[in-house]
């Protein structure tokens, strides 16, 4: 098992960066991890994968810390919850929503492989990691110490591939080519964990991930036999997320 919140404290942040401790902001219904990153000198900040139900909490934290939220970025068009990016734009004027162009969803900024979201002295590089959905991105911090993998790579797991144009072969290739090629000590921060694990590393997943250490053929077979129930919110979450979430909710 990966490290759990109880057994592990986050590492010191990279010089000059500010990292909220504990590292994740948690939304308990969908078990979603939201990440707040900021440059303390310039106060410029980014939120990754905010959730509608906790968007006000996140906005309050941003205000309390005196941060200037430049981007509310999605790793993909989520199927299990409504993104908080639409509401955050309303609460925090100046904040721009982000999603990949390949997702087919609306946002202020539609990004692609190789594009970067800059905040102060830092940047998040977008890597295209399709397979869970065809628009999945992994955001890699400029110094390659952290990667925010969305649902492409979970701790000791990975995103399902049975809806939203999912493809197990594509996911296998994405993870091996775009994530496992990062430095071994690079920290892996996923969009969800259902067992309380909070962080892993490229080395750990490359050697211990029970799905992705298999051959591509075995991986495909395994993914074809997961038999997971549909996410409970899928029927309204996907249409809402294709429009950048809810923008007219009461604040």
Residues making contact with ligand L3IBWBLD (CB under 6 A): 30, 79-80, 151, 157, 159-160, 192, 228, 231-232
Determine how many CB atoms are found less than 10 A away from the CB of residue 1: 10
232 binds, among Fe ion, ligand L3IBWBLD, none (CB under 5 to 8 A by kind): ligand L3IBWBLD
Under the criterion CB under 5 A, does residue 151 sit at the interface with Fe ion? yes
86 binds, among ligand L3IBWBLD, Fe ion, none (CB under 5 to 8 A by kind): none
3-state secondary structure of 160: coil
Query: Residues 6 or more apart from 235 whose CB is under 8 A from it?
Result: none
Shortest separation between residue 76's beta carbon and ligand L3IBWBLD, angstroms = 8
Under the criterion CB under 5 A, does residue 134 sit at the interface with Fe ion? no
Cα-based angle 163, 124, 190 (whole degrees, multiple of 5): 40
Residue placing its CB nearer to ligand L3IBWBLD in the complex, 185 or 194: 194
Under the criterion CB under 5 A, does residue 27 sit at the interface with Fe ion? no
Where on the phi/psi map is residue 184: left (φ > 0), alpha (ψ -120 to 50), or beta?
alpha
Residue placing its CB nearer to ligand L3IBWBLD in the complex, 120 or 157: 157
Residue placing its CB nearer to ligand L3IBWBLD in the complex, 108 or 169: 169
* Among the listed residues 116, 112, 58, the one whose alpha carbon sits nearest the alpha carbon of residue 84: 58
Determine how many CB atoms are found less than 10 A away from the CB of residue 168: 23
Size of the site for Fe ion (CB under 5 A): 1
Shortest separation between residue 23's beta carbon and ligand L3IBWBLD, angstroms = 19
* Among the listed residues 114, 104, 67, the one whose alpha carbon sits nearest the alpha carbon of residue 88: 67
| Footprint of Fe ion (CB under 5 A) | 151
């Amino acid at each position: 098992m990966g490290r759990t919140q109880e057994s592990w404290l986050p590492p010191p942040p990279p010089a000059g960066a500010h990292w909220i401790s504990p590292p994740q902001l948690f939304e308990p219904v969908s078990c979603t991890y939201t990440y707040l990153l900021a440059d303390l000198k310039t106060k410029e900040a980014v939120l990754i994968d905010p959730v509608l139900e906790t968007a006000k909490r996140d906005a309050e934290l941003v205000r309390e810390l005196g941060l200037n939220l430049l981007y509310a970025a999605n790793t993909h068009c989520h199927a299990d919850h409504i993104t908080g990016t639409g509401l955050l734009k309303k609460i925090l004027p100046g904040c721009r929503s982000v999603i990949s162009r390949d997702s087919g969803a609306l946002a202020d900024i539609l990004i692609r492989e190789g594009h970067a979201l800059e905040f102060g002295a830092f940047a998040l590089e977008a890597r295209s990691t399709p397979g869970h959905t065809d628009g999945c991105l992994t955001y890699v911090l400029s110094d390659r110490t952290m990667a925010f993998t969305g649902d492409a790579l979970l701790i000791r797991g990975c995103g399902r591939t049975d809806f939203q144009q999912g493809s197990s072969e594509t996911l296998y290739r994405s993870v091996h080519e775009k994530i496992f090629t990062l430095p071994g000590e690079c920290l892996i921060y996923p969009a969800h964990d259902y067992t309380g694990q909070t962080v892993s590393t490229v080395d750990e997943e490359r050697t211990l991930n029970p799905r992705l250490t298999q051959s591509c053929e075995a991986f495909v077979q395994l993914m074809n036999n997961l038999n997971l129930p549909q996410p409970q919110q899928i029927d309204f979450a996907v249409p809402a997320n294709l429009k950048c979430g809810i923008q007219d909710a009461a604040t």
